[in-house]
Structure 1
Amino acid sequence: MAVSNNITACLNFLALICTIPVVATGLWFASKQGAECARLARWPVAILGGLLLLVALAGFVGAYWNRQGLLAAYLFAMAALITLLLALLVFAFAVTHGSGAYDVPGRAYREYRLEGFSGWMRGYVAGDPRRWEGIRACLAASDTCKKLTMETAFFIAPEQFYQSDLSPLQSGCCKPATACGDA
Structure 2
Amino acid sequence: MVRLSNKLIGTLNLAILLLSLPVLGGGIYLKAGAATECEKFLEAPLIALGVFLFVVSLAGFIGACYRNSCLLWLYLVVMFLLILFLFCFTAFAFFVTNKGAGRAVSNRGFKEYRLGDFSRWLQKRVEDSKNWRRIRSCLDQRKACKIMEQKNETWAQFVGHDLSPIQSGCCKPPTACNFTFVNATTWVKPAGFHSGDIPADCDAWENDRSTLCYDCESCKAGVLAQIKRDWKKIAAVNVVLLVFLLLVYSVGCCAFRNHRDEYRYPRFKRARYP
**What is the TM-score of this pair, normalised by structure 2?**
0.56
Is the CA contact 2:6–2:64 (under 8 Å) kept in the aligned structure 1? yes
Q: Using the TM superposition, give the Cα deviation of residue 100 of structure 1 relative to its aligned residue in structure 2, in angstroms.
A: 4.2
2:99 matched residue in structure 1: 98
Corresponding residue pairs, total? 179
Is the CA contact 2:158–2:184 (under 8 Å) kept in the aligned structure 1? no
Change (3 A) 1:86 1:18: same
Q: Provide the secondary structure at the position in 2 that maps to 1:83.
A: helix
User: Is 1:131 matched with 2:136?
Assistant: no
Change (3 A) 1:29 1:85: farther
Q: 2:182 aligns with which of 159, 177, 182?
A: 177
Q: 1:168 aligns with which of 165, 168, 183?
A: 165
Is the CA contact 2:62–2:68 (under 8 Å) kept in the aligned structure 1? yes
Is the CA contact 2:36–2:141 (under 8 Å) kept in the aligned structure 1? no
Q: Which sits farther off after the overlay, 171-180 or 85-94? A: 171-180
| Greater length-normalized contact order (CA 8 Å, ≥ 6 residues apart) | 2
Q: Using the TM superposition, give the Cα deviation of residue 7 of structure 1 relative to its aligned residue in structure 2, in angstroms.
A: 1.3
Distance (whole Å) between structure 2 residues aligned to residue 123 and residue 174 of structure 1: 23
Q: Using the TM superposition, give the Cα deviation of residue 106 of structure 1 relative to its aligned residue in structure 2, in angstroms.
A: 5.1
User: Is 1:81 matched with 2:82?
Assistant: yes
The RMSD of aligned alpha carbons is: 2.9
Q: Using the TM superposition, give the Cα deviation of residue 32 of structure 1 relative to its aligned residue in structure 2, in angstroms.
A: 5.0
1:63 matched residue in structure 2: 64
Is the CA contact 1:100–1:115 (under 8 Å) kept in the aligned structure 2? no
Q: Using the TM superposition, give the Cα deviation of residue 174 of structure 1 relative to its aligned residue in structure 2, in angstroms.
A: 5.7
Distance (whole Å) between structure 2 residues aligned to residue 60 and residue 163 of structure 1: 55
Q: Which runs of 5+ in 1 are unaligned?
A: none
Q: Which sits farther off after the overlay, 64-73 or 99-108? A: 99-108
Q: Using the TM superposition, give the Cα deviation of residue 10 of structure 1 relative to its aligned residue in structure 2, in angstroms.
A: 1.3
Name the amino acid aligned to 2:119: S
2:141 matched residue in structure 1: 141
Q: Provide the secondary structure at the position in 2 that maps to 1:177.
A: strand
Is the CA contact 1:100–1:114 (under 8 Å) kept in the aligned structure 2? no
Q: Which sits farther off after the overlay, 2-11 or 25-34? A: 25-34
Higher-Rg structure is 2
Name the amino acid aligned to 1:80: L
Name the amino acid aligned to 1:167: S
1:19 matched residue in structure 2: 20
Q: Provide the secondary structure at the position in 1 that maps to 2:163.
A: coil
Distance (whole Å) between structure 2 residues aligned to residue 11 and residue 154 of structure 1: 52
Q: Using the TM superposition, give the Cα deviation of residue 64 of structure 1 relative to its aligned residue in structure 2, in angstroms.
A: 0.7
**What is the TM-score of this pair, normalised by structure 1?**
0.79
User: Is 1:113 matched with 2:114?
Assistant: yes
Is the CA contact 2:60–2:72 (under 8 Å) kept in the aligned structure 1? yes
Name the amino acid aligned to 2:141: A
Provide Cα deviations, 1:50-76, integer angstroms capped at 9, x if missing partner. 111111000100011111111111111
2:218 matched residue in structure 1: none
Change (3 A) 1:118 1:179: closer
Q: Provide the secondary structure at the position in 2 that maps to 1:49.
A: helix
Distance (whole Å) between structure 2 residues aligned to residue 31 and residue 139 of structure 1: 22
Q: Using the TM superposition, give the Cα deviation of residue 78 of structure 1 relative to its aligned residue in structure 2, in angstroms.
A: 1.0
Provide Cα deviations, 1:74-122, integer angstroms capped at 9, x if missing partner. 1111111122122222232233333342234454432211111111110
Q: Which runs of 5+ in 2 are unaligned?
A: 174-180, 187-206, 210-274
